[in-house]
Amino acid sequence: MSKFWQDDFEYVALIEDLLELEEVRSLEKFKHHKVTNRLAHSISVSYYSYCLAKRFKLNTRAIARAGLLHDLFFYESEDKHEVGGNGHNWEHPRIALENAKKLTELSDLECDIIEKHMFGATKELPKYKESWIVTLMDKRAAITELAVGGHSIVKSAVSRYQEVMYNSFATAYLAHEPFEQTIDK
Ligand SMILES: [Fe+2]
Ligand SMILES: [Fe+2]
Sequence spans of domains, the chain? 5-175
79 versus 149: which is more confidently predicted?
A: 79
CA neighbor of 71 nearest in space, from 137, 129, 24:
24
Report the CATH architecture of 5-175: Orthogonal Bundle (1.10)
Q: Is the pLDDT of residue 174 over 60?
A: no
The model's pLDDT over 21-50, given as tens digits with 9 standing for 90+, comes to 999 999 999 988 778 899 999 999 999 999
User: Ligand 2 centroid vs 178 CA: distance in angstroms?
Assistant: 25
User: Ligand 2 centroid vs 68 CA: distance in angstroms?
Assistant: 9
What per-residue confidence (pLDDT) applies to 15?
98
CA distance 173 to 170: 5
Q: What angle do CA 160, 135, 64 make, to 5 degrees?
A: 105
pTM above 0.85, yes or no: no
Q: Is the pLDDT of residue 60 over 60?
A: yes
